[in-house]
Structure 1
Amino acid sequence: MANQRVLFISAPIGAGHIRAAQSVSQLLQLNYNCHTELCNIFDFCHPVFGQTILTGYLKILDIFPQAYGAMYGWGNRSRLALLGRELVSQIFARRMVDYINKFQPSVIVCTHATPAGLVAWLKKKGLIKVPAVAIITDFVVHSLWVYPELEHYFVAHSAMAEDLSKNGILPQSIAVTGIPISDSFFQPCDKYQILDKLSLSPERKTILIMGGGAGVLPMGEILELCAQIDRPLQIVAITGKNQSLYRSLIQLGLVIRHPVRVFSYIDNVHELMSIADLLISKPGGMSSSEALALGVPLVIYRPIPGQEEANSRYLLNSGAALRADSLSELQNILIALFDDYDGFTTLRRQAVLLGRPFAAKNIVDFIAKYYFKA
């Protein structure tokens, strides 16, 4: 199978889509010695256009998240949105044809709805005949993911499979695998060694705060809130690429009563999650799946309307997460958990039950079985 070629197409709108592609790509190379290549939809347009779209997206999330939620809901229901999808596909999909034909993949893997639509349009028009599959990286199916031209879908849980079936996707074309994460999240870590390396104590509860790749969580305010809690705790914060936030948290950590460790963009998130007793974050599909794989309960802070809201419902209904819509709510949740050992234990147990650490391997083996020639 060494001559197999797999093309991944994603979008840099949220780090999870790219990380899902990377986790599957790395396992394909390791387990099947095939050639993989990762690209994103902005590779097929002018760099300024792509950067403008990304900047606008982050601005909307920061300033007016309700607008994003309204667009998400509209896109899930409106016939006009489906027509718009067709128009976008016509404009951009043709630019992908030469790239795909030159690479000659055995299969195309899409980890974002937009490239899934572009590839489906090319297949519908007969411009490519390459098999294509989609990996949905949230706990909900949006209608912009639904394309009968795609050969297979990989989803997080069985209710998503039912939703796809109701929207015309054949049941035999859907595999319930979980959201693929890096294999580092199921490699054994020495918790005490990591704590010692960070000069943290195993006697304190460790709270991990993650703001996403763009640092969109009000982490400074959350850190100050944690400082007011009179319990034995310590805090680890990851700010992503937000350097100004990183610098401000470093300064804040110097005056807080509890031990604080601050990191920017890192590649050992699995180590920091492995020492966490609790994660405060946004409910992204990828970061949530990573936490669940390690049995780390999640406190969701003010989910953005749209897929974050839908992800929250799934995690809350499954008993693996709690939700806070204000700083005072968050403080009450943290104090209650510190005073309730059974509450912590129940959340962790549910997180472990929900976790699917081997999702990437299951997807890789499926792709090899159905799309690789002997």
Structure 2
Amino acid sequence: MKRILFMPFLQMSSGHHQVVNGIIDSLQEINDLFECEKIDILSYSYGNVERFISKFYLKWIYLFPNFYSWLYKKSAYKNEYEAKRFYFYEWLFLYWMEKLIKEKNPQLIICTHALPSYLLNHLKQKGSISVPVINVYTDYFINQIWGMECIDYHFVPTKEIKEVLIERGVKSDHILVTGIPIHPRYKEQDKVLHQKDKFSILISGGNLGIGLIKTFVETLQPSGKINYTVLCGENNKLYNWIKQLNNPFINAVPYISSKEEMNNLYDRVDAIITKPGGVTISECLFKRIPIFIYHELPGQEEINLQNLKKWGLVYHLECWRDTPNFEEKILKVLHCDKLQKLLNQQLNTYHQHLSKEKVSLFIEKLLAENNIGK
């Protein structure tokens, strides 16, 4: 058996966990020789404290978004090329991380969050551990917390992020442009937006119950030219509220657990309106679905949006709260051949730079080349 330890952070539903789940399922499609385990270092170290931290984190973003945004950028992104020590994290977690590695004795560690990557990088620098580590980045930028010098491989979302890592001293052949890894059940499609009288648009971003999705739907003035499907996830309050609207052009969909069903839903829509969360954006880029951004959470999503706009991969619905009938702006974009051609060019460039080697096959080859698990 080949033991792989996956390390996201916190246990709440997030892109870090979605990426882990997708990679695990991809590996298990190859063969059953992979023994995969997912562990959150906070839960491992301090037990039920993790639940409190998760709730506090969500409340903090909801109640004090500007403060969270300022603190995140100051502590983790202000000088993105500068190596930085986080002594508090080391004091809290280094002992537990070393204990975990000795206990589990993994043959490969895959980090989808910066904190475990930072801790493992530090332990490798000290010579306390030698196990190979892969960073899998789940945003469209790299913050200062990620471990770098002693990390063996890096799975990055775009060629631009690869260039950032090279500037920070990482060898080019240790970087794989994978996109943010998505579940293997999602299948490629040649999404060509045809001009039509009525479009179908997906609205996403309400799973955790934070953000402005309810306000956005309240502001909609459907003309009948667009049918909206709102993905509510586990947000039952949002689902029930939309159902009570009884609007023929706004349909609510509860949590979808089946990736095949979600893939089929993506195939049926002409565009998506969402937040700039890493995994959702990666899925839509893979499916070549035009992306409209209506809102971004403070911190990570703000920086994601900034970069995605710079690379020409999304449309930003700015000032929608102050614009009567902003649906017309959406329709203008969908009807504009010039804008659609430009988007297709940017998507082609994005896809051209993605590695042709699947993440799961690369991991299998890495373990085989190092005679790991034999």
Return the TM-score normalized by structure 2.
Answer: 0.85
Identity of aligned residues (%): 26
Q: How far does residue 217 in structure 1 lie from its aligned partner after superposition?
A: 3.5
Distance 1:55 1:115 in 2: 20
Q: Does 1:322 align with 2:319?
A: no
Q: Normalized per residue, which structure has more helix?
A: 1
- 1:28 is aligned to 27
Q: CA 1:65/1:357 → structure 2, altered by over 3 Å: closer, same or farther?
A: farther
Distance 1:242 1:32 in 2: 36
Further displaced range: 50-59 or 92-101 = 92-101
Q: CA 1:352/1:213 → structure 2, altered by over 3 Å: closer, same or farther?
A: farther
Q: How far does residue 174 in structure 1 lie from its aligned partner after superposition?
A: 1.9
The one-letter code sitting in structure 2 at the alignment partner of 1:23 is G
Q: Does 1:333 align with 2:329?
A: yes
Distance 2:340 2:189 in 1: 22
Per-residue CA deviation, residues 63-111 of structure 1 (Å, 9 max, x unaligned), is: 222222212211223799934x233123213213333223222110000
Tell whether the 8 Å contact from 1:298 to 1:322 is kept in structure 2 after alignment: yes
- 1:261 is aligned to 252
Runs of at least 5 residues in structure 2 that lack an aligned partner in the other structure: 191-195
The one-letter code sitting in structure 1 at the alignment partner of 2:262 is V
- 1:8 is aligned to 6
Distance 1:72 1:161 in 2: 23
Distance 2:105 2:173 in 1: 26
Per-residue CA deviation, residues 289-309 of structure 1 (Å, 9 max, x unaligned), is: 001111111111132343212
Distance 2:315 2:90 in 1: 39
Distance 2:355 2:16 in 1: 15
Q: How far does residue 181 in structure 1 lie from its aligned partner after superposition?
A: 0.3
Per-residue CA deviation, residues 163-221 of structure 1 (Å, 9 max, x unaligned), is: 122223333322222211001111679xxxxxxxxxxxx97311111115313332233
Distance 1:81 1:65 in 2: 27
Runs of at least 5 residues in structure 1 that lack an aligned partner in the other structure: 190-201
Q: How far does residue 341 in structure 1 lie from its aligned partner after superposition?
A: 5.5
Further displaced range: 131-140 or 348-357 = 348-357
Distance 1:280 1:229 in 2: 14
Distance 1:172 1:357 in 2: 14
Matches within 5 A, 1:1-374: 3-12=1-10, 15-33=14-32, 34-75=34-75, 76-77=77-78, 82-83=84-85, 85-186=86-187, 204-226=198-220, 228-252=221-245, 254=246, 256-264=247-255, 266-267=257-258, 268-327=261-320, 328-329=322-323, 330-337=326-333, 339-340=335-336, 343-344=339-340, 346-347=342-343, 350-351=346-347, 353-355=349-351, 362-372=358-368, 373=371
Return the TM-score normalized by structure 1.
Answer: 0.85
The one-letter code sitting in structure 2 at the alignment partner of 1:239 is C
The one-letter code sitting in structure 1 at the alignment partner of 2:215 is E
Alignment RMSD, CA only? 3.1
Distance 1:68 1:359 in 2: 35
The one-letter code sitting in structure 2 at the alignment partner of 1:11 is F
Q: CA 1:204/1:352 → structure 2, altered by over 3 Å: closer, same or farther?
A: farther
Distance 1:212 1:93 in 2: 35
The one-letter code sitting in structure 1 at the alignment partner of 2:159 is S
Paired residues, what number? Answer: 358
